Amino acid sequence: MSRITNLSTVLPEVAADFERVIRASARPRLALLDQDHDPEVLEQIPDAAEWIDGDTGSQVLLLIGGNVTSMIAQWSNTGELAVECASALQTYVMDERNAPWPVLSGGAGVAEPNLREGTAQWTWNGGAVPFGHLSSVLP
């Protein structure tokens, strides 16, 4: 059955990295869509059926504020889903601020979400930190 859940429930590390930069009213949520839509899903995504992938019969969406982003990663692949969500959220934050984010301490540049050796992490030239620990490298 289709469902919507808070990002912090499914990917708490990703949610933790963004909690200080995304306003509360934007509430990042994930929607898992399939052919059976419950009323809550249809209330928040009236055109839910149009988002479903014809090959898999399902779809994962990231809902943030009034934005809906379709995810390529499957619900069951949490590492890839975490990186894809972090990337979409990073774009959202940069658009809201009209500036790069996250800018690292000491002029190290901007971190990017990546999957390295099966671990979702923020990477930059010469460094990396796992999701959930981004604040440790920010000014």
Element (H, E) at 15: helix 12-18
Show Cβ contacts of residue 24 under 8 Å, excluding neighbours closer than 6 positions.
none
DSSP state of 77: -
Entry pTM = 0.94
Which pLDDT score, from 0 to 100, does residue 16 have? 97
Strand 67-71 relative to strand 112-116, pairing: unpaired
Q: Tens digit of pLDDT per residue, the chain (139 long)?
A: 899 999 999 999 999 999 999 999 999 999 999 988 788 899 999 899 999 999 999 999 999 988 999 999 999 999 999 999 999 999 999 999 999 999 998 888 999 999 998 999 999 998 999 999 999 999 9
Parse the chain into domains and list their residue ranges. Answer: 3-137
Helix (H, G, I), strand (E, B) or coil at 12: helix
Contact 33, 60 (CB under 8 A): yes
